[in-house]
Each structure stands twice: as C-alpha cells, then as structure tokens.
Structure 1
Amino acid sequence: MRLLYTLWCAICLVGLYLILFPVQFICLQRESWKPLAHRINAVWGHVFFVLVGIPVRVEYRFRPDPNGVYVFCANHFSYIDIAVMGVIIKNYYAFVGKSDVKTIPLLGYMFAKLHVQVDRKQANSRAYSLAKSIRTLQAGRSIMIFPEGGIVAKDIPRMAPFKDGAFTMAIQQQVPIVPITLLTNYRILPDDGRIRMYWHPMRAVVHTPIETAGMTQADVERLKQETYQLIDTELTRQETIAV
C-alpha cells in the first residue's frame, strides 16, 4: 500500500506540473508576469496536498504582510519542504537553492528563471548568490532560504548549524527574519535514500519576526543563533508532545 501511495503521489506531483507548465512558461517570459508564475507554483502545491489527502495545518504566530519584504528561514529535513513553502507563505519570494535543480526537465527551467541558484562546485558561487539575493530584496521581493545549506542534518529532528548568508543579507537590507519550523515533513518524505511517501498531516509554525533594524554585520552571529534557537525549541517541544 505504501508503494501504491507513493506512486499516486508521484503521478499527482508530475501530472499537475505538466498541466500547469504551459501557462507558467508564458508567465516566465516577462519580468512583470513572473509573480503569476510564482502563484502557479502555489496552486501546484495546494492541489497536490488535496489530491494526496495530506491535511495542511499551519500555526501562524505571525501572518506576513503579502506586500512586505522578509527573509524567511526554515529547517530543511525533506525534499517536500520546497512544495510546502508555497502553501504556507503567500508572499512573492525567491528561493535560494542548489543549481542541481536546473537539470530537472521543466522544473529546472522554472527554477533558473524564478529563483537564486547556488553552485557549490564554483568557488565564487556563494558570493554571487548572496549578491543576487541582496538585489532581490532591494527590488522588493522576499527571500526564502534553508540556512542549514541543504538537507545535511545527521540527527533529525536536530538541525545542522546555520550558515551566515541569510543573516548577512537581512542585516544589510534591514529586513526582518521570519523563522519557520517545519515539524512533520521528514515523516511524510524522509531523506533516507529511498523514495517513499507516508501519510501524515503537514504541520508547521510561522514565528514572530526578528527585526534587524539597527543591526550591523557584527550582529550576524547573534541573529543566526537567535533564529536557530527559536526553530530548534519548537522542534524539541513538538517532539516531546509527540512522545
């Protein structure tokens, strides 16, 4: 049954994207149309979770202003995290993610056109992606980033240490950090070397923003640790409740 459920999820995920992609392709051809392309990704995520029967339960301790500019930071334990973000957050944002995504047919084209790529094989890629992320914030568009730098945690649900990039750009542009705790995605699609989908409610918490107004680059470490502790405390609390 689990294999059949996984197959059904794959059919829904790929089939929906194939249906939506022609419209998205058109929207990606002009800068002014790209917010519509972004909305198509959100529709993709919403419909997917309905079709596979996974309820989405989000606790909003803060509801972001759809026109506001933020740096959204979340823990990253599962590849389904990316699809979930479009369901949780309504803002027009750019992901900062691995350039490997561009090798995926159709999806890679969209990612290259709409988001910020990091090629870890290139020595100057991190500096380039940071500069592009800062330009994105300057243009009035939010950034979505997994500050662990990928799915790298060895003891899930304990996070790996955060990297500096998200906090450097937030301080430089004086925009708030919005921490997000993704509580159950690793139970739905574990990163264990196998592709298996498990039915489990998707649960997340959107935390109150951490303001960066008045901070300088000397505050990067403090801001990074405050964000880490906020997300980690929620993971620990929910794990205790589950036990």
Structure 2
Amino acid sequence: MKVISKVLGSVLSKIYNIWCIFWLVAIFLVLFPFMLFCIKIKPLNRYGTKLTNLWADLFFPIAGMPVKIEHRFTPDKSKAYVFVANHFSYLDVAIGMRVVRNYFSYMGKSSVKNIPLLGYVFAKLHIQVDRSDKNSRSTSLLRSKRALQSGRSLFIMPEGGILSKHIPQMLQPFKDGAFLLAIDAQVPLVPISFLNLYEIMPEASLNWGIPKVVVHEPIETTGYTKVDLDYFKAKVYQIIQSELDSYVEKKNASKK
C-alpha cells in the first residue's frame, strides 16, 4: 500500500509540475509582446515592470497557490526603497514580483540572461550581476545608484544566492551592496521574510502549498553613513531571521 501511495504521489507531483510550467510559460508568452513594447519605449519601462507583476498575479492563483502576504508596512508607490529578503528557493524571484508593487528592478545573477526571451526581458528591466567579473559588479552598482536616484526601487537578496547549508538559517555575512546603495541614496531598507518557499520549491520542482510572506516595517537610513554598514546588515538579519525562526517554532508546535 505504501508503494502504491508513493507512486501515485510521484505521478500527481509530475502532473502538477507540468501544469505549473505550462501556465508559467503560456502567460509569459502572451505578455511578452507587450513587455517588449514597453522595453523599446523608455518612458513606458515602468509598465514593463507592471506586466511582470501581472504575470505573477495570474500565475499563482492558476497554480492553486494564492500568496498570503502580511503587510506590517505598505510601501508608498511614489517612493524608492531597497527591498531585501532571504533567498532559499528558486521561487523567490517570482514571489517577489507578486509582493513588490513599486516600480523596481531586481539586482540578481547574470545567469538568467541565458533563458530565451525571459533573459532578454530580465536584462532590460532588471540589473544583472556577474560576481566573477569586477567590471560587471561596478557597472551593476552604477546602474543601481542611477535607478534609486530616478525614483526606482531595488529588490536584492543580500545572501548573494541560494547558498545557505542550514536552511532556514540565512547565510552570513550578507553582501554589502544592498546596504551601501540604501545608505548612499538615503532611502529606507524594507526587510521581507519568505517564510515557507523553501518547502514549496526546495529544488527544481514544486510542491503544492500556500506561499507565506511578511513585509516588515522600513529601516530608515537618513543621516547614516557607510560607517554604519554593519549595523544595517545586523538589523536586517535579525528582523528576517527572527520571523523565520518564529514560523518554524509555530509549525513544530502545531505537529505536537
């Protein structure tokens, strides 16, 4: 009986993943011409970002995964922020599109550029970083500074990738970039806790679940300098990790 149950579970999982992949690609292909139009006309770039929001808005309900967002702070869409979150799953970027409603750019790995069509959109709407190339890092930081100066927010996972060996403990130390950019532009840092995405998508396949996210109160950087870098890194870590620890404790308690 256990063998039959395991086989059935495996088959259903594969069907579910095929369903999700189909709709993820189908929605993107429908929206791609409109994204391309917005990319080609610079004043319309922000609408390209809105279309990526729409992509996430459509996909997650169709996938049966309505995202549960706890807003302890609702960002002002007319202001710029540096959003920072933990990074344990390949699902994080897609969920970020559902959560962040400001005009924003991801600052992420350049490997995305190798994905047909999506790579092009990412390169035009977001900021790619090749950590092995010093010139790439300098160019990316310059683009990020200009984005904040123009009123566009940034979304950065300061762990620098899915690197933690002890999920849900975040990798330390954080990369400096997000915090230096926020301090330089004197814009608030907004911590975001992705509570259970590593359970829904631990590797390359999806398990069904309800994504849970907490958007925390902003941390003001006005009046601070680069001397305070470690303070902000520690503060963001404490806020996000405390929420992750609380989630795990509640989940474990409910099993008893």
TM-score (norm 2): 0.92
Q: Distance in 2 between matches of 1:88 and 1:116?
A: 18
Are 2:169 and 1:158 equivalent residues in the alignment?
A: yes
Q: 1:27 aligns with which of 15, 38, 62?
A: 38
> CA shift at 1:149, angstroms?
0.5
Q: 2:194 aligns with which of 178, 182, 186?
A: 182
Are 2:108 and 1:97 equivalent residues in the alignment?
A: yes
1:67 is matched with 78
SS in 2 for 1:50: helix
> CA shift at 1:202, angstroms?
0.6
> CA shift at 1:86, angstroms?
1.5
> CA shift at 1:112, angstroms?
0.8
> CA shift at 1:187, angstroms?
1.2
Q: Distance in 1 between matches of 2:190 and 2:113?
A: 27
> CA shift at 1:128, angstroms?
2.1
Are 2:146 and 1:135 equivalent residues in the alignment?
A: yes
> CA shift at 1:124, angstroms?
2.7
**Letter of the 1:214 counterpart:** G
**Letter of the 1:234 counterpart:** E
SS in 2 for 1:155: coil
2:209 is matched with 200
Q: Distance in 2 between matches of 1:101 and 1:214?
A: 36
SS in 2 for 1:157: coil
Q: Distance in 1 between matches of 2:182 and 2:189?
A: 7
Q: Distance in 2 between matches of 1:213 and 1:160?
A: 27
Q: Distance in 2 between matches of 1:224 and 1:129?
A: 20
Q: 1:52 aligns with which of 57, 63, 75?
A: 63
Q: Where does structure 1 differ by over 4 angstroms across 4 or more consecutive aligned residues? A: none
Q: Distance in 1 between matches of 2:90 and 2:230?
A: 27
**Letter of the 1:168 counterpart:** L
> CA shift at 1:123, angstroms?
2.4
**Letter of the 1:177 counterpart:** L
> CA shift at 1:147, angstroms?
0.4
Q: Distance in 2 between matches of 1:208 and 1:142?
A: 16
For each residue in 1:29-70, what CA deviation from the matched residue of structure 2 results, as whole angstroms up to 9, or x when unmatched? Answer: 011111111111111101101111112111100000011110
> CA shift at 1:125, angstroms?
2.2
Q: Distance in 1 between matches of 2:193 and 2:208?
A: 19
**Letter of the 1:118 counterpart:** V
Q: Which runs of 5+ in 2 are unaligned?
A: 1-11
- Bigger radius of gyration among the two: 2
> CA shift at 1:127, angstroms?
2.3
Q: Distance in 2 between matches of 1:123 and 1:130?
A: 11
Q: Number of residues paired by the alignment?
A: 240
> CA shift at 1:21, angstroms?
0.5
2:241 is matched with 232
RMSD, matched Cα: 0.9
1:9 is matched with 20
SS in 2 for 1:28: helix
TM-score (norm 1): 0.97
Q: Distance in 1 between matches of 2:80 and 2:167?
A: 30
Q: Distance in 2 between matches of 1:91 and 1:145?
A: 14
